[in-house]
A and B are shown apart, each in its own frame.
Chain A
């Protein structure tokens, strides 16, 4: 099944426009950030420790999220985009943007990876970042959900880990994430920041030890563990007005704002 870029979003916007005036429509920016031990990810240097006691560095983190949807308190779903590629080591892919009808939004949904029914070779547009995420046809076809790679300390130097999740042998290890939020949109520009806690992938319910895991693309047990652990890796750190010029603030508690309310505190932007 081919992804039709923004087609679903466009159709959804038209349907929603019938019940809302244009003045209610707002702009939404969804950011994807990453933390380890509650601090912003710093790549390449061995500085992190996971639940298994592995001291490690991350040299690559890229992933695909799909079917990104905002849901109103009344249960109406607004499609933001069908698929988004994120390279955590580059700000160029940090955000996706969309226009949405006005309303009271209460949940952000997305699929980590691509749903099994859609994850076929050639389903995504032929652009470099999607091509580089290809999951070879002899191994099931489609696309990686995530490529997280790095080094970790071993007794005689450094070993490496490859946390490559995807449709191993054609099975579906993608998972759905639903994050509660409160966002009242009545025009304007708004931001939501989703945070991935990287150590969570290796933490619970199953501790994941790099020493026990080599290449895992063909390892269904490892894929299942990561699928389970990964469902708890995401949270929302911030919702509020989107300020194009303000500096990003990381790691703040979920901050609720509504349009038109007087603000007595410093506004924190998502850009």
Chain B
């Protein structure tokens, strides 16, 4: 062997070669202690993806990095913006190849959700994160190319090693685990409602009236938007369309009567997450309330909870009270840009 080749071989060994593995470095991740809000269920964190400071930081960086997209223009954060409680103020979001077909969902309190997407087709955050990268409209990339980009990045190999240990292959599995860890830390429960519940703040008379309308059969919101999450995490057809163009849950179940069923969104931070519904058809809370008050379609697809009465017959003052109560579910500290 020519002796001048030896330094090149050593350099090659030190850089880890071209197999996409992380360089040898100490792995001592720091456990992250999640602060569970009072009254919330005990969260379930996957045993194979515990929360660590390093994993969360890596996930935060990946969430904001357009490196995941084919032309490096779209990140998760492009459609999930912090100032909109990680939703999008646009009706449909702009991907690498056009507009999405559903309104971007806000991201908070995901720890307590058993399924993801409007139609619930993902059962974990790790699985959910795979899809936007591959979606031809959203990011248009494939994960093998993402792996190559992350591997040759000047910083990511070290961050992956710190989060998951040396000699663990950089790739889809670890990337989505990191993103999932970051998303699990997005917890929102610092609201006027929570302080009122704890007895440390008072409602105004209008907010109190709205609370009563919400939590009685007058407006009857509580059956689906149930505390403390303000969602039952189930799927309902709320009468948006007689003949739903978007199959919703039926895409997964192929159940004829599941057409037009979508996941109940949380009403926390609803003040920040316009427009509303799976297709963003309502720009204001007033429009949403009017839909439930008198505007929904009645069919054998419509949820029995809504079919039970023809109209809510709310007057203007009652509608305003409802909106006042809904605004007590806002968490401005979570929503800060």
Q: Which residues of A line the B interface, CB within 8 A?
A: 44, 59-60, 122, 125-128, 131-132, 134, 136-139, 149-151, 157-162, 214-215, 217-218
Q: Contacts A159-B307, A214-B308 known; A131 to B217 CB distance under 8 Å?
A: no
Cβ-defined contact, A59 with B308, below 8 A: no
Q: Contacts A157-B299, A217-B217, A218-B217 known; A126 to B228 CB distance under 8 Å?
A: yes
**B229 closest partner in A (C-beta):** A131
CB distance from A143 to the nearest CB of B (A): 11
CB distance from B238 to the nearest CB of A (A): 13
Cβ-defined contact, B41 with A126, below 8 A: yes
Is there a chain A Cβ closer than 8 Å to B226's Cβ? Answer: yes
Cβ-defined contact, A134 with B300, below 8 A: no
Docked pose: A137 CA to B227 CA in angstroms: 11
**Residues of the A chain whose Cβ atoms lie less than 8 Å from the Cβ of B234:** 132
Can you list 18 A-B pairs, Cβ within 8 angstroms, ordered by A?
A60-B304, A128-B41, A128-B112, A128-B232, A128-B233, A131-B41, A131-B227, A136-B215, A136-B216, A137-B215, A138-B212, A150-B304, A151-B307, A157-B299, A158-B300, A162-B304, A215-B308, A217-B217
Contact among B39, B216, B232, B304 with A126 in the assembled complex (CB-CB below 8 Å): B39
**Residues of the A chain whose Cβ atoms lie less than 8 Å from the Cβ of B42:** 126-127
Q: Contacts A139-B216, A215-B217 known; A134 to B307 CB distance under 8 Å?
A: no
Is there a chain A Cβ closer than 8 Å to B206's Cβ? Answer: no
Cβ-defined contact, B304 with A134, below 8 A: no
Docked pose: A188 CA to B278 CA in angstroms: 52
Cβ-defined contact, B307 with A214, below 8 A: no
Q: Which residues of B line the A interface, CB within 8 A?
A: 39-42, 112, 114, 211-212, 215-217, 220, 222, 226-229, 232-234, 255, 257, 298-300, 303-309
CB distance from A99 to the nearest CB of B (A): 25
**B258 closest partner in A (C-beta):** A44
**Residues of the B chain whose Cβ atoms lie less than 8 Å from the Cβ of A126:** 39-42, 228
**B233 closest partner in A (C-beta):** A128
Question: Which 8 residue pairs spanning A and B have beta carbons closest together?
Answer: A160-B304, A160-B307, A136-B215, A149-B304, A215-B217, A158-B300, A126-B41, A132-B232
Contact among A59, A127, A134 with B227 in the assembled complex (CB-CB below 8 Å): A134
**Residues of the B chain whose Cβ atoms lie less than 8 Å from the Cβ of A159:** 307-308
Docked pose: A238 CA to B114 CA in angstroms: 34
Cβ-defined contact, B217 with A134, below 8 A: no
**Residues of the A chain whose Cβ atoms lie less than 8 Å from the Cβ of B257:** 44, 59
**B215 closest partner in A (C-beta):** A136
**Residues of the A chain whose Cβ atoms lie less than 8 Å from the Cβ of B255:** 44
Q: Contacts A131-B41, A215-B309, A217-B217 known; A161 to B304 CB distance under 8 Å?
A: yes
CB distance from B260 to the nearest CB of A (A): 14
**Residues of the A chain whose Cβ atoms lie less than 8 Å from the Cβ of B307:** 151, 158-160
Docked pose: A149 CA to B236 CA in angstroms: 13
**Residues of the A chain whose Cβ atoms lie less than 8 Å from the Cβ of B308:** 159-162, 214-215
CB distance from A163 to the nearest CB of B (A): 10
Docked pose: A160 CA to B255 CA in angstroms: 19
**Residues of the A chain whose Cβ atoms lie less than 8 Å from the Cβ of B309:** 214-215
Q: A131-B227, A218-B217 are in contact. List 20 more A-B contacts (CB 8 A).
A: A125-B41, A126-B39, A126-B42, A128-B41, A128-B112, A128-B114, A128-B233, A131-B226, A132-B226, A136-B216, A150-B304, A151-B300, A157-B299, A158-B300, A160-B304, A160-B305, A160-B306, A160-B307, A160-B308, A218-B216
CB distance from B219 to the nearest CB of A (A): 11
CB distance from B25 to the nearest CB of A (A): 40
Docked pose: A122 CA to B38 CA in angstroms: 11
Docked pose: A159 CA to B306 CA in angstroms: 10
**Residues of the B chain whose Cβ atoms lie less than 8 Å from the Cβ of A139:** 215-217
